[in-house]
Structure 1
Amino acid sequence: MFNPLLPSTPSAGRLSSLLLPLAMMLLVGAVGCGDDDGDDGNLSGLDAPSILVSPSSFNFPDTPIGERETTTLIISNTGGSVLNITEMELIDESPTPQFRRGQGFLSTLQIPEGESHEFSVSYIPLTPDPARAEVRMRTNDPNNAEVIVELNTPQLGPQIFANQIVRFNRVPAGEEAWTLNTVQNIGTTPLNISQILISQNTDFDMSFPAPGADPSDLESDTEQWPEVLEPGEAFDIRVWFRPINNNPSSGEITILSNDPNRSTFSLDLLGNSGAPCMEVNQGEVLDFGASSAGQVGRRSVVITNCSAETPLELTNVFLSENPDSIFDLNLDPLGGDPDDAPVIIDPSRSATFQVLFAPVSETASYEAKLTIESNDTVASPYEIALLGEGTDNECPVAVAEGRILNTTRTFTEGTALPLNTIELLGGSSFDPDGQIDFYEWSILESPENSQARLSPSPNQVDPTLYLDLAGTYVVELMVYDNQGVASCGEPATVTIQAIPEDDVHIQLVWDAPGVANPTPDAGVDLDLHYLHPSGRWNGEGSVYWNNRFPNWGNPEDERDDPRLDIDDTCCGGPENINHSNPESGLEYGVGVYYFTDRGLGAAYATVRIYIRGELRFQLRNTYMPSEGHFWHVANIRWPSTDVYRRDVIDFGFPVQ
């Protein structure tokens, strides 16, 4: 090699002239040899060391300040000769050093081919801030002369943890239950808790067991929580559920703290959720009073599944303590005997059967017991005492009819439109040997979520029934004569089918578990929306409370215009939108907006879509967390009449 620092001499020049041809010969020979062997000619590559470090980088876990966390790294030589590490150093980039060299950490080392070397690095945090370091190595690996292993740490801080759903499957109305939910600080610095708040639903309450007290010692509970939790510490919240009815209920506990990622931490409270629920309209005593000997008196028993989520299974309905079989059952309306196969009652639906009473003596009193068994573990078995006595007085005859208000045609089975009012007529009832003294109307069946009531009273001769929803209504009339004897024989019922007449009928109802008795000042407001494809939600081209009667389609023809019939602002609906003669080739949207919750929490919304009088689509009990949320329910295509599920909930109206 020519070195410009050496003097040029004749002998040096001659040596160079001799070495150059020799070098050329050796190079040619090496190339030729390589070609003969068939390899790539890089002999040094086959014999070179090769470094492999595992892991190639490492992220330390959360480590409390002042404690030590150690990791082990492995250097392997996967090459063909000795790996020389001429320099290995730990470079700590923290303002205050927080990383330490551990066992096996050497400044220089040699690793034979096929062997490995282990070393460790420790991290001892001094501040909550993230830290970074590098292990830097210089090697004789021709492809990795310098190797860097990055070491990183997380941002240290407090971290709150608790089960975020507190569930009470089934608690009867008027009773109470409690459960403990543990709140922990799983972070690395103290957790400061500034507030713990509970929603306004009075079904739920909370208290805090005193530190060190027996969890079952309710008297030791306080209203104060620990304001500071050190890393690893915890405390309990005792959550109470005291329902005023059997309906599903929900609430929320909110914990405010210095957790940098979840400064607002929520616990969802769910009551009477996920379990079947049975209600019986007759209570615990069914008294037939005096009934004519030789005649058959009847009473209808209505069983309602008061769960909004889970089917109710009736597994047995039977009589006991029934001498001479004076009482009997007609289970045909249930669709069969539950003892043969369980009778399924869908959520929020009802089923009916009849108890029969046939006294054989005019002077005797009778008793028996009716038992209803179901998969409601709280209400099963449900027992009803049956009472009755015989008389020689003939029983009166109930005659029930109905007609649409302000019309003249009467019926016992008829059709009407949703939102019609039915006038129920009991004046044709009679008593063969006396006079009618008392009328008792009862609703045996109504559509799910219906709030229909008999007005002004179920004891009027001719009350009215407002058909608030599409579906089937069955009303029964019992009459009593001046001696207190009830009507007997076949039941007197009126059946009404409320069938929408428009091409599209959309129905919204809702339930807010945090509202015990909804009123205009204490209820939540959800709004039904119906969108023209050229419009926008909550604006032009959308049917809702602020645009109830838009002009769509032919501007000269009102028959193709949709309409909002009802805007309910507090009380669970219904809200109805109707539309006939939709435009061909278009797709209309159906949505629900949570307008205001008045601080009362979540609501469960149900939407049903009828096409030409037929229920074609429904989504039941969809959770809407709070005001400001919008639920895009479905789209309707015309003229195919297809309904496509969307079921998307976002905060705010979608952007068209």
Structure 2
Amino acid sequence: MEGDMHRFCIGRMAAVWLLVVAVLAAGCPESKLGPGETGQSDAGDVKGQEVGPGREVRIVDIVIPWEVLPEAGGVEPVGDWMPGEIDPNCTPQCEEAECGPDGCGGKCGKCPADMKCATEVGLCVPCIPNCEGMKCGTDDGCGGTCATCTDEPGLKVSPTWVDFDKLPAGGARIRTVHIISVGTMPLFFTGFKLEGDASFSVLVKDKEYFAGVPVDVAFPEPIALMPGTATYVKVRFSPVDSDAAEAALTIFSNDLDYPKGVVVKIVGNAQLPCLDVQPAKVDFGGTVVGGPAEFPVKLVSCGDKPVEVDAVVLEPGASQAFSYKLVEAPPFVLQPSETAEIKVVYSPQEVADMDPGGDLVGDLGTLVVKSDSFGGNASVKLSGYGVAQGGCPTPVIHVEEGEEVIPQTNLHLYGDMSYASSGKVKKWEWDVDQPSGSMSSFVPSNTFPNPTFETNVAGVYTFYLTVYDEADTPSCFPAKTEVIVIPDEALHIELLWTTPEDKNETDIGPQAGSDLDLHFLHPWAAGPDLDGDGAPDGWFDIPFDCFWFNAHPNWGGYDPSIDDDPGLDRDDTDGAGPENINFDIPEDVAYQVGVHYWNDHGYGAAYATVRIYVYAQLVYEVADMKLVDSDMWWVCSIEWPMAKVKPTVTSNGQPKVVQDYHNPYFFQ
């Protein structure tokens, strides 16, 4: 209960309307009147006015000061009832009430679609939608949405600030900025602008743009990104002195929410305040009505100078079910590496309804942390929905590494913040929808509260968590979160395979599955002519075949700060894969991709899939190519810098596969 405002129950409908009129005449809630006192409100302007045909008077959100209630007959306070506390001996107070709390933790009824509940008086009153400043799809306050949402593109840029820290003159360092399609329609990356110090440059595909002169690029053909996919640009810092340097990169797209683009702030050799706020999203899932549930949001001073936290606020339009707690009220200062914590509190006031599509209509909000950080203000998206007391437990997922990672990232998943309305959580069950071909599993198991999970294949991973309380009651709905795996090299090549006779392709160990190998060939490679076409094959050449025995060849220069060599970053010997080769700065030549069936370990034929990503975009895929032991498959060539992928075929147009391919220098 807040201040002098209290909830009450009404015994007679007539008394309700008399009370409403009295309150309006008294100027509620600005005027506070004692028993027997009178007053006048601005509503007096309505007196004597006529209501024309087709028009109506609407009374919405009536709040009645407690002072006027003692003299109103038939009105009694409910008491300090807390939503969610159900007394089995409680008698619902709903004799004449149409809606609102019944005094026992339930509701007196639901209002029609065009009405809303004035909970203070238990009446359904006409609802006036409020969409001022709201986005499409936002709750209009009347159970509807502001405008009708059609499919829309969505742009996310990560990160929106890049700090190169300290770098001596003559050095060079590169950071990646991801452009992610998060909408429901294709996103078009249409161009960019770079302004600032000449020591910064941006690498977009095979071109480098320097900030010393104004750079404003509109692509002749925008880069199309399907929902859930991404691309990237790279930012290079090459200082000529030790002075602080700054620049700004603006990313343009067809996302109408960002007509002026999304700005990425860039600095190097600068001592600046920095504030990292994690996590960026908090989903409370199903929470017992009345709650409260809490989740910590961590603030870390990540710069070289102290950072001042000016304010912590909930954005307008956020559900009133959300609040927060701070040990120290802003403004306050965090020294470098110092941390602070915000406890986000969720106390839903009613059980969530279902929309016509059968989905829960939950509470939404955004917490904003305002500071003088170089990266600007930080936002945390909040969500949750109310469930009944004594109902199901609530699962909560936290991913330590965040929402965007690169392949081979080992995710740390935390479910131990899940809770039950009574007792404790007894059991956890994890599940995942992973990209086609990925066969990663939870370690040590999917019933461990805080497992790890290796994301080996590019794409979107959707994690689910169901928890059980001490009575073996499962959560009403699983918690859900998504992680997108984005390659950050110019070329990313994946090999995956299935072996039907291997009944458990997730087990590990010597000869636990079939062994296929990915090969990536430089045009200078030479070797025995094992296919009999009169030319050297090149496979298994040292140093110009990148494969398991030559995983990180040196094909470029000798400067270790320049990543100009390919690398086999994952070699799988016991079934399914994946095997990955990454290459950030290819030469202007034609490369070849091949797959060799090294050893079937008795499991028979395998079906191989190869995917090729160029700047994080899937440009080529060939699936389920049947191979048997010792087959060598010429997959395709990749012409750079055009990134043209051409399948390798025989004279009759069939995939080129040479059987019993045994290089004399390697024994199988």
Bigger strand share: 1
TM-score category of the 2 structures, normalised to the smaller one: 0.3 to 0.5
